[in-house]
Amino acid sequence: MLAKLFAKLKLIWRVVNRPSVHYSLGFLTLGGFVAGVIFWGGFNTVLEATNQEQFCIGCHEMENNVYQELQSTIHFTNRSGVRATCPDCHVPHNWTDKIARKMQASKEVWGKVFGTINTREKFEAKRRELAEHEWDRLKANDSLECRNCHNFDYMDFTRQSQRAAQMHSTSLASGEKTCIDCHKGIAHQLPDMAGVEGF
């Protein structure tokens, strides 16, 4: 058994080890490199394309529901002109997390393609479930996406409203709570909140 495997490996090694008859070593190395770049680049380009807001709101369920709602919030227009786009809040920056989230998102696209969420009513019916996925994710990563823009270390409590400073200097500072615990519904309308902690 082991001997057989060893023989096979030996054969493979011999094939790989044999100098190429048709192509030069230089061509092969360079070719391999270029192919790798094209593959990797292509993969990341697709990834990047799907990471743009235009892609997110490409399907009507997003454009007609959550995108409309976002437009009236502070994350769309504000005095400083800094905008948060869909991927800023919904796609992790870290690569492995990003892939994991994309796989999950594919399922949501599936729902679109097969027309399970094609009206406002159906979206509203699904919203609690979708929102809960986001809350769970942000809770688990300590609101990482919020913190990409809002850095706790640089928050100046003296410049915040009293209500904000009071909360941020206690529950948030101690790590007992994270942004999403208190700031649900910051970018979109909330679903029926019956039974959600704090409501």
Binding site for other proteins (CB under 8 A): 72-74, 161-163, 166-167, 171, 185-186, 189-193, 198-199
- Which listed option, ligand HEC, other proteins, none, makes contact with residue 118 (CB within 5 to 8 Å by class)? none
- Which listed option, ligand HEC, other proteins, none, makes contact with residue 192 (CB within 5 to 8 Å by class)? other proteins
- Which listed option, other proteins, ligand HEC, none, makes contact with residue 193 (CB within 5 to 8 Å by class)? other proteins
Nearer to other proteins, 98 or 139 (CB): 139
The nearest distance, CB 121 to ligand HEC, in angstroms, is 14
- Which listed option, other proteins, ligand HEC, none, makes contact with residue 160 (CB within 5 to 8 Å by class)? ligand HEC
- Which listed option, other proteins, ligand HEC, none, makes contact with residue 199 (CB within 5 to 8 Å by class)? other proteins
What is the C-alpha separation between 164 and 170, in angstroms, rounded? 10
Nearer to ligand HEC, 97 or 134 (CB): 134
Nearer to ligand HEC, 29 or 104 (CB): 104
Nearer to other proteins, 93 or 183 (CB): 183
User: What count of residues does the chain have?
Assistant: 199
What is the C-alpha separation between 178 and 143, in angstroms, rounded? 6
Alpha-carbon distances of 54 from 28, 66, 68, 87, 160, rounded to whole Å: 39, 13, 14, 10, 33
The nearest distance, CB 67 to other proteins, in angstroms, is 16
CB 124 within 8 A of CB 191: yes
